[in-house]
Amino acid sequence: MKRSKQIRLFLLGGISAGALAGCSPDSSKPPLSTSNVYTNDYHVPGAGYYHAPFRGWFELPYNYFDRQRNQYYFGGRWGSSPNESIINISSPTPQAAGQAEEARTDVTRGGFGGTWSGGHSFFS
């Protein structure tokens, strides 16, 4: 008898924890938006590295040097010399912020049929 109570409590605890984890946003990871500013090489898992002069995320760090190509990567293209720009902080374009937010893999998406919209409680 005692054994079945422990199993039931364990299962209920597991279900509750899973339900709450699916509903809660990852508050340590704010959404990417045009109202925020990002520095060169700000990395977002799944989206890439931010290149401030180009106001978007790219697969490699800003001015990454590839020894085999003998070229530098910036703004989605390769060049024979590093990109020189006084811009090292900027806000992304609306399109870049949206694409990066969709591509990111470092946030927990809502578990009950949608994305987190804020303001809702599991207990309300």
Task: For residue 91, give the nearest of 31, 50, 60, 58 by alpha carbon.
Answer: 50
Would 88 be classed as within a structural domain? Answer: yes
The pLDDT mean for the chain works out to 79
The tally of domains found in the chain comes to 1
Does any domain span residue 123?
Answer: no
Would the pLDDT of 59 be above 70?
yes
Does residue 99 lie within any of the structural domains? Answer: yes
Q: Which uninterrupted H or E stretch holds 24?
A: none
Q: What percent of the chain has pLDDT over 70?
A: 65
* pLDDT of 79 above 60: yes
Is 120 part of any domain?
A: no
User: Which element (helix H / strand E) includes 108?
Assistant: none
Mean pLDDT of 32-58: 97
In a domain, residue 78? The reply is yes
Asked if the structure places residue 18 within a domain, the reply is: no
DSSP letters of 67-103? TTTTEEEETTEEESS----S--EEPPPHHHHHHHHHH
Q: What residue type is 48 in one-letter code? A: G
Q: Which domain holds residue 80?
A: 30-108
pLDDT given for residue 109 in this prediction: 64
Q: Note whether residue 11 is domain-resident.
A: no
